[in-house]
Structure 1
Amino acid sequence: MDIVVIGGGPAGRTASIEAASLGENVTLIERNEVGGTCLNEGCMVVCGLNDVVKFLEDAKNFKNLGIINDDYNFSFNNVTKGVKETINKIIKVLEYETKDAGVKVLKGTAELKNNSVIVNNENIEYDKLIIATGARPFIPEIEGAENAITYKDILNLTEIPEELIIIGSGVIAAEFANIFSHFGSKVHILCRNEFLSVLDNDIKQYVVKHFIPDVIIHENVQTNKIYKNYISINNTEISGKTLFAAGMTPNSEIAANIVGTGERGHIVIDNRMQTSHENIYAAGDVAGKTGNTPISRAEGVIAARNACGIYSEMDYKFIPYAINLYYDVAFLNSDNQDEGMEGYIPGSGGPGSFWRVLEGMTGLTKINVNENRDINNLYSISPSSRTSMAYISKLMREGQKIDNFDDFMEVHPSTDAIYKLIRFFARFE
């Protein structure tokens, strides 16, 4: 069977490898570079820049403690150059892995026509098609929007902005506010509604106080106009370069009038990743379910299996998320939001947080448990919470209750208080 996958990001690349492993003839079409937004412009860029932030913050703390004497300066141009070089190396690894799995990789812009895809003037017929074309930054309808930049432009900056205005209220806004405020920019965040509404209020306040203390946050504001070096909000002017971090727009135009789309422009799919067309599947950001790279990979696997005739459904329960700051800010929320018992505990001193104990900055973990002994919400701030939350998510999807954690044995030393807090709750009836 001939399967064509359009888009070489996390969803598309994973789908193509899965389909090839099942013995199908797979062609992957990518317009730019494999890896998608996450590798080339998003998550990995944030990781690279935030690693520098962590080093600078640790050096500052060590100097304050009298452990080192040096002040560290850095070259922003060398940082962005190094991030690009690292990304290019990872791209080569991903390309090799994809081709080694038996996938034919074509570079070019795809166009759909009947039961075929046209790329580089070549007509490629398919039995099943998987669309994984991702998404692009959402550009709000604000006068002067052309004067703003997005995450796609970050690595092309030649210098750190003295003043930066971030329009957005979610994870991307928080991550870039953290990076550029520590790089020396005076940062404003403009939120149409509430900043980081995905977080519990105690967790949000910890983030604001400890990770972005110098950032000025404006909630419930409307931007009137964007100029080259300042903006106008509520009849007030704020100077700085503007960065849009206000969400994503699905790249679904390729399938216009071929499959059903929703109000936000996303391709409508069921839990098998099937679209309104029986031979076409979609996965990742273009499907608009959730902006989460591991979920995109999982959707790619589900799409590939169903395209190959293996019935499989996606499970969206207990999805773990994280914000990439000085410490990981990890969280998961269940669909069940019944009122329950709530508690929190400070983080532990250990790898990554030992030298923050004296100032009381070891993180925070908070949990809400319902009367059925299920976890409603779980939030954790620590150097290792990103990893721990993934395993908790797996156990929750398997139906584990807090009582099953009474004899849980974590690896020591650990900075994560998740297991300690859950075991504490397990002792209460």
Structure 2
Amino acid sequence: MTQHFDLFVIGAGSGGVRAARIAASHGAKVAIAEEYRVGGTCVIRGCVPKKLLVYGAHFAEDLEDCARFGWEIGEKSFDWAKLRDNVAAEVDRLEGLYHQTLESNDVTIFEERARLKGGKEIALASGETVTADTILIAVGARPNMPDIEGIEHGITSNDVFHLPKLPKRVAIAGGGYIANEFAGIFHQFGSKVTVVNRSDQILRGYDESMRERLLHISLTKGIDFKFNSTFKKIEKQDEGSLLLTMDGCDDMEVDAVLFATGRVPNTDELGLDDAGVELGERGAIKVDEYSCTNVDHIFAVGDVTDRIQLTPIAIREGHAFADTRFGGMDRKVDHGCIPSAVFSHPPIASVGMTESEARQAFGNQVKTYTSDFRAMKNVLANRNERSLYKLVVHPLDDRVVGIHMIGPEAPEILQAAAIAVKAGLTKAQFDDTVALHPTMAEELVLMR
């Protein structure tokens, strides 16, 4: 007999797994299908393994700086294969935990591709057809690869975690957070890095002061940038290097070219046409505030909807969907005032309005407060790298409507500060808070 479920989830990433677990906790009979590995982009080939590479990359500067703190380190070397394999082992461990979470909540796992057949039917790659009263699509997004000659020789962020060896020279296409994060990682590991961006600025959408500071620091470190430039052709040479024919800058020869030019929703070959599901721009699934599509029993959460491509958003959307659909609640996700980070070297963290956005909304009377300083550790290490914090304040009611930071541990500091922005606290309330000294975070309450 055909298996029937209350909820069938297609895609076992962060949003899908959370939705499946919460729905099951409400008593629903739940199944989930995943054709690759349980855990999705974040756990398997995104946030988690990338952050581990970021940690590994930071040791390059720490080993340089420690001498000023009295530590004598002998001859040092870096073993890419050891880090790569240790990161892969950690990913395997986390995938196992995700499996355990689903199994402990009695969620049936189909480790194969699933697609919609129309109505309430789902076709599995094995040939089996199952049915479900409610279907949730949580298949995420994939790296965008431009249509240029020789693109098969390029790699994406997915491939970095499996490189057999580090490239001595790497070109990175893009100016967003993925491009800048991997630029810092490769540079710290000793690669010669060139960032190629089709526009004239990096990190569009982040506060201009933070973008300019990161660019200045990156250039000082030795990362090269080619602006208003694009790739025309990639040719693999006999010895294995890649010859890049460029438009807007000189041609170059590298050992690897990484494309970090955005991510597109994974809606191909899902049977969405058969089910009558409406798509929007770039193939994203169109949903309402409850993550419901135009088909009343089909829902979608996470990157496949292209609302905000962040793991915590997918998790919240999945949780809210399950509580609403199976828990008798009325829950929606507030997509405003969401904190974000760029794990560059140094990292950027941001929440709320940029200065430019605030001026457009409230006029030129918007107040800004900044602190431009060297972290204490950098001073003693004789590292001339300055941090920059900025508060953006509403001109009428004194609310802090944006916080933007670049410097060591900025994302860790911002998480708590984001609560204040979300709560609508004022600059006066920041000022009334006693500083925790000596810390970098104290600068947030000392700006006058």
Would you call these one fold, judging by a TM-score over 0.5? yes
7-16 vs 198-207, which deviates more? 198-207
8 A Cα contact 1:408 1:419, kept in partner: no
Moved >6 Å (runs of 4+):
none
Partner of 2:425, secondary structure, is coil
Across the aligned residues of Structure 1 and Structure 2, the Cα RMSD in angstroms comes to: 2.3
Gaps of 5+ in 2: 237-241
Distance in 2 between the 1:348 and 1:221 partners? 33
Q: How do 1:386-425 residues align onto structure 2 when only pairs under 5 Å count?
A: 386-408=411-433, 414-417=439-442, 419-421=444-446, 424=447
Q: Aligned in 2, Cα 1:208/1:71: closer, same or farther, shift over 3 Å? A: farther
8 A Cα contact 1:348 1:417, kept in partner: no
Give the equivalent residue in structure 2 for 1:271: 289
Q: Aligned in 2, Cα 1:205/1:357: closer, same or farther, shift over 3 Å? A: farther
Aligned AA (1:274):
C
Give the equivalent residue in structure 1 for 2:82: 78
1:358 to partner: Cα distance: 4.0
Q: How do 1:219-258 residues align onto structure 2 when only pairs under 5 Å count?
A: 219-228=227-236, 229-234=242-247, 236-240=250-254, 241-253=256-268, 254-257=270-273, 258=276
1:219 to partner: Cα distance: 1.4
Aligned AA (2:56):
V
1:400 to partner: Cα distance: 2.9
Distance in 2 between the 1:200 and 1:181 partners? 24
Query: Which of 386, 391, 397 is the aligned partner of 1:367?
Result: 391
Distance in 2 between the 1:307 and 1:188 partners? 48
Query: Which of 307, 327, 334 is the aligned partner of 1:289?
Result: 307
State the TM-score, normalized to the length of structure 1.
0.91
8 A Cα contact 2:13 2:38, kept in partner: yes
Partner of 1:363, secondary structure, is strand
1:208 to partner: Cα distance: 2.7
Aligned AA (1:314):
V
Gaps of 5+ in 1: none
Give the equivalent residue in structure 1 for 2:58: 54
Give the equivalent residue in structure 1 for 2:323: 305
Distance in 2 between the 1:22 and 1:413 partners? 47
Distance in 1 between the 2:158 and 2:122 partners? 27
Q: Aligned in 2, Cα 1:272/1:418: closer, same or farther, shift over 3 Å? A: farther
Q: How do 1:129-148 residues align onto structure 2 when only pairs under 5 Å count?
A: 129-148=135-154
1:269 to partner: Cα distance: 1.1
Partner of 2:190, secondary structure, is coil
Q: Aligned in 2, Cα 1:108/1:313: closer, same or farther, shift over 3 Å? A: same
Partner of 1:202, secondary structure, is helix
Distance in 1 between the 2:31 and 2:342 partners? 34
Aligned AA (2:93):
K
Q: Aligned in 2, Cα 1:394/1:272: closer, same or farther, shift over 3 Å? A: farther
Distance in 2 between the 1:157 and 1:57 partners? 23
Q: How do 1:108-187 residues align onto structure 2 when only pairs under 5 Å count?
A: 108-113=112-117, 114-119=119-124, 120-187=126-193
Q: Percent identity?
A: 27
Query: Which of 280, 302, 310 is the aligned partner of 2:298?
Result: 280
Aligned AA (1:325):
S
Distance in 1 between the 2:288 and 2:430 partners? 34
Aligned AA (2:179):
A
Aligned AA (2:347):
D
State the TM-score, normalized to the length of structure 2.
0.87
1:27-51 alpha-carbon deviations (Å, 9 max, x no partner): 1111121111111111122111111
